[in-house]
Structure 1
């Protein structure tokens, strides 16, 4: 049985300022983000993990380094990098929503049609595929506990691929330094928890997801 712990990076200034935080906004953590991740690190035992993977973006790598504390080799994987919002990256979210209201859902998340307006934006379908490819690879690892550091949209894509929820708009974005835990047992995915913000060792049993 493979256990996957998917962590969203800590806060950056673009998060704090309410800007669109995609692939091109490659910033380090701010002070609040470092505190969030350090708090998480103090509530986990990195020695219990077998492998650590991270998005290559600075905010994810820095989060992984704090959590890892020099114990494991940190493996960068481009499939974990945040969605590329094209020319929308780094722009104030409120201004973009006011200009293109039909590209956002009721929770103020982008809809798949956003690429009509955001030049060079990455499609949702492309993100789902690369995340699913990563999940399939992890499912072959055997009995391992794996820490994965990524981003908000990527965390939602993990949940969508694991549960086969048809509409990603029904999935909230995890908080900065929020954690999701999944199990894959004989090819069947289980969601143990989603968007926990403290203890990676929480052991409540998850429900199997079929379909």
Structure 2
């Protein structure tokens, strides 16, 4: 039973500007995001990773580049780990999307959500998103075990909603409850798949940082909605 590290990309310009990036091109890490992923790379430096698989999107490839530095590995991209295909929501501000009727369904019953079509971006349902992400992780995990044995460790670099969906599946939690899971930028979660069940070893680990444990601001304390695409992380 290999261990898969589910690593979210570092903070991006879209995160800080409150835009749902989706599959938009040209969305890279900001300065804080670069520092975050370099910190993750340092933390994982002595961990013998046998494979690094990344979403094809720029922010994940930049994160993977930091993690692969100093290792005799190549980064492999996998569409199944790519961001949710938000269709017509892509590129819009979170503030504006929160006024859409679909927003409440995203929060309360994501298994019933199909994002609206767009001429520029593909769309999919959140159930389809979860199915293809879980299938990709399980398929690669089986390949890793066949090639490197049950004690191997590998990393999947992906996005907030994708990692939340994979964790929900591993926890045996219905997709309608996956918004209860938090996955911050540059966080590390870990799952081991066995013949009997998956084991969730770690979730949303940001290392030595205690920022997420600090009392929330009044605005954060009042907020109850989850952000499509994933949270932006603690403020600077």
Moved more, 166-175 or 141-150: 166-175
Seen in structure 2, the aligned counterparts of structure 1 residues 69 and 137 have a Cα distance that, compared at 3 Å, is same
Structure 1 stretches lacking a partner, 5+ long: 200-211
Secondary structure of the structure 2 residue equivalent to 1:105: helix
The equivalent of 1:28 in structure 2 is: 28
Distance 2:115 2:16 in 1: 27
The equivalent of 1:185 in structure 2 is: 194
Matched, 1:128 2:127: no
Secondary structure of the structure 1 residue equivalent to 2:184: coil
Deviation at 1:114, TM superposition (A): 4.7
Structure 2 stretches lacking a partner, 5+ long: 209-236
Secondary structure of the structure 1 residue equivalent to 2:114: helix
Deviation at 1:160, TM superposition (A): 1.8
The equivalent of 2:82 in structure 1 is: 81
Deviation at 1:162, TM superposition (A): 1.1
TM-score computed with the length of structure 2 as normaliser = 0.75
Q: 2:204 aligns with which of 195, 198, 204?
A: 195
Deviation at 1:63, TM superposition (A): 0.1
- After TM superposition, where is structure 1 displaced by more than 6 Å over at least 4 residues in a row? none
Secondary structure of the structure 2 residue equivalent to 1:42: helix
Higher helix share: 2
Distance 1:90 1:112 in 2: 22
Corresponding pairs, count: 196
